[in-house]
Amino acid sequence: MSKITKVNAAILIIGNEILSGRTQDTNTSTLAVWLNSLGVQVNEVRVIPDIKKIIIETLNILRKNNDYVFTTGGIGPTHDDITAESVSEAFGLKYEIHQEAYKILESYYKSGEFNEGRQKMVWMPHNAELILNPTSGAPGFSVENVFCLPGVPSILKSMLGGLKQKIIGGDPILSHTISLRTIESEIANSLSKVQDHNKDVEIGSYPFFHAGKLGVSIVLRSENQSRINNCISQVLEFVKEKNIEIVDR
């Protein structure tokens, strides 16, 4: 049997607006689903304020502990956009005008519109690789295993297509969901036994409430389909014994 290759990532959400509750983060979920599809598992997410010292410290921990780090937020034109400067310091690189980014934005804007505010967006760590932005011009960038994306969800989404070929994932993480018309406490013991017999499959149990009825979704995740299949059989066995209605499988 071939060894399973695991590749992991951390997501670093930079922004006071998430910590104040003013803005609901959706980038975590977007990035996590996308990374899973590339065979990259998200190990950890952190949300931190727009404070340079904290960004640098956190980034230096995450980039050592993970194959990839994805940051969101703080790459716009205003004073609170300090991600590029912080990444430069974290890597000990010069923070400077990126010539290619400069050319992209110079031709993106009409003559005279490429003002000082916008020019801030071409300042990046020395030799950063650009992540192109098909929505609003200003590119993101990467340095080694750190990929810096904007905070605006629609712009972030539009940049993932161009980023895909830069990410080398491991074995894809497969997932299967069985939804049952039951409550967690009715199946807790049986499910616990299935988990004990299948330690290398991640088994999650999530209550749901849909169309006026309660239910539980059992989510089975692994890089190995046959191990997931084993779990499915064992779950269906106790579901049959207990005479539980299957909503979806």
Q: Which residues bind a second copy (CB under 8 A)?
A: 13, 16-26, 28-36, 41-50, 76-80, 115-118, 120, 152, 173, 175, 184-189, 191-192, 195-196, 202-207, 219, 221
Measured from the CB atom, the residue of 93 and 230 that comes closer to a second copy is: 230
Measured from the CB atom, the residue of 161 and 206 that comes closer to a second copy is: 206
In whole angstroms, the minimum distance from the beta carbon of 84 to a second copy comes to: 14
In whole angstroms, the minimum distance from the beta carbon of 5 to a second copy comes to: 18
Q: Residue 115 corresponds to which tokens in the numbers above? A: 């003002």
Measured from the CB atom, the residue of 30 and 93 that comes closer to a second copy is: 30
Residues found in the chain: 249
Measured from the CB atom, the residue of 3 and 79 that comes closer to a second copy is: 79
The answer to whether residues 141 and 128 touch, using CB atoms and an 8 Å cutoff, is yes
What CA–CA distance (Å, rounded) separates 129 from 131? Answer: 7
Please report where in the chains the tokens 């059989």 appear, as a residue: 233
Measured from the CB atom, the residue of 121 and 148 that comes closer to a second copy is: 121
Strands 213-222 and 174-181, by their bridges, are antiparallel
Measured from the CB atom, the residue of 144 and 186 that comes closer to a second copy is: 186
In whole angstroms, the minimum distance from the beta carbon of 127 to a second copy comes to: 25
In whole angstroms, the minimum distance from the beta carbon of 216 to a second copy comes to: 8
Measured from the CB atom, the residue of 143 and 151 that comes closer to a second copy is: 151
**3-class DSSP string for the chain:** CCCCCCEEEEEEEECHHHHCCCCCCCHHHHHHHHHHHCCEEEEEEEEECCCHHHHHHHHHHHHHHCCEEEEECCCCCCCCCCHHHHHHHHHCCCEEECHHHHHHHHHHCCCCCCCHHHHHHHEEECCCEEEEECCCEEEEEEECCEEEECCCHHHHHHHHHHHHHHCCCCCCCEEEEEEEECCHHHHHHHHHHHHHHCCCCEEEEEEEEECCEEEEEEEEEECCHHHHHHHHHHHHHHHHHCCCEEEEC
In whole angstroms, the minimum distance from the beta carbon of 20 to a second copy comes to: 6
In whole angstroms, the minimum distance from the beta carbon of 223 to a second copy comes to: 13
In whole angstroms, the minimum distance from the beta carbon of 119 to a second copy comes to: 9
